[in-house]
Structure 1
Amino acid sequence: MANMCKDLAMHRVVVLALDGVYPFELSIPVRIFGTAAGSGGEPLYEVVTCTADGRPVATSADFTVAVQHGPEVIDTAGTLVLPPFVCEPLGDRDWLPEPVAAALRRLPPQARILSICTASYVLAAAGLLDGRPATTHWNNAEHFQRTFPEVKVDASVLFIDDGRVLTSAGVASGVDLCLHVVRRDHGSAVANQVARLCVVPPWREGGQAQFIDRPVPESATATTSEARQWALGQLHRPITLAELARHARTSVRTLSRRFRAEVGMTPVQWLARQRIEHARRLLETTDLPVDRVAAEAGFGTAASLRQHLTGAIGVSPTAYRQTFSRRGTPRRAR
């Protein structure tokens, strides 16, 4: 996982507003990236908004948005963000207005591109998602897959980071994606501070599965939150499903069903993710030896931590610490 901003004093994020843009999603990049600051309070990103022709665009609401920039600013983008917009009917391979296609062609080869919600249709129509994993709003996933069979659609996740191209699911998952990019660029400490200032969770558990329409649970008050809260304080040791079920005051079978309904994954998957996230925090914010980090996160050995972390995010504990240390300089693993 490359730290694409570590050598830049200021990284330019360009937001491309298309006709019919949704106002909430349009504001996400400037709010998240514009809040990110370094240890001395210096801004880490410059966020500018443009349109495909430099003229105002109508929004999905009853007002228009006037911008200060035309598509030429995309030439200087380190990151380009496409918020979703009203588009009926949804586009196909031949759908892409030439001004939009021309704007996308201006993106520098090394720059990354993010789509929020159904803006993934723009990337797909431009051929930028061919052969790549991608996501979009769960309600459009089947149509998206039929329309663009070359794309590997995954409707179960909140976002997908495929290196240079990143896609997110509906609406608020744009917040999740932008926070992920801040975390990828500058580490969890900066991303968590942005989340606190914006009063949003720094990381949401589960994926889109928890938001897809489903039958109403047997009890509207049934929840696994108490069991999950207890487990977060026990990550240093093995945790059985029976223990989780006891703290949820239910059976193991019901526990598993409620976990899927509430967080979109099994208890075992959720525990593994929490252990990985705890290990990441320790690697970023402490000088603990890797084997001690492994023990504190419940992996037992450094080899086990290495296997799980590499499987989850593609890097070893040592490489992760060198990239995301809160001091911003490589450390020697012990």
Structure 2
Amino acid sequence: MATAEQLKSLIRSHLSDDEERFMTVALQVAAHEAVQGHGALAHDIRDIVDKARRTRGPNVLLKFPQELSGLVLSERADIPLAALVLSEPLIERIRRVIHEHRQQEKLKSHGLGHRRKLLLAGPPGTGKTMTARVLAHELKMPLHTIQVDRLVTKFMGETGAKLRTIFDLIRDVPGVYLFDEFDAIAGDRALDNDVGEMRRVLNALLQFIEQDASDSLIIGATNNLRLLDKALFRRFDDVLHFVLPDDSERKTLITNVLGTFRPRTLTWKSIVTACSGLSHAEIDMAVRDAVKDAILHDRKTIQQDALMDALNDRRSAQPV
């Protein structure tokens, strides 16, 4: 049967006439039943929800409290794990998060919890946000992205109250919650430019994260771990480090994006060299520029010169 928190969430969403929230929790119940070995029941619940969503339309998402308007972006992620182009050790750690989530009841029966508080760190464009989308897709949960920078700058005096509302949402509505630009509210308290207000916000954040016992997956993303307060690290179940792609990953990424526009022959050595210093996102954009060039010139495949130019353009746009 559903957990007590899931039953309470179903009742709350029904009484507040929040259909999408009701369906989200229903899918969590289905996942719970599947873990318990009740595959037929899980299938029936998913089928009911899928039919209802097809009837209502695909774009109806969670209705957030008015005070969070513009601060939380909701989406249904559709990126599978196979789409990630990362090192095998990092992929394996992501698989472990997914596996533990699916087997959480087995872990709970032994007094253990599954990984559900993650810290993602690495340069921009290396796959942190995409990983959050993959986790949401694989766990069949909605992705809710908290715009941390807007939370701080727009509601400076009320940030703590907004954080409490967000963590109430995390408790009541299971999903993947991504705190983007996490260091905006989780900066090191020892920094000279720290102010009293932000220290109070950080203390509240530490408390909320530590006390959270929801069914949601909480993800903090930062470009620089050194900016974060040291007390944060023990609050997270795992820290995943993202880096620029190596030669093998560059080739795989380019091949994946090219698809049917890949020519029979490419001089990979020079192409991979041209990718030096570029992130996953920058390589992706460069390849798409080459594909657009082929389309606009009515070609069925890209030209290597166009791809090299696009990669060089991306490199030249980087700050010195």
For the superposition of Structure 1 and Structure 2, which TM-score range results when normalised by the shorter chain? under 0.3
Question: Which is richer in helix?
Answer: 2
The structure whose RCO (Cα within 8 Å, separation 6+) is larger is 2
Q: TM-score, normalised by structure 2?
A: 0.28
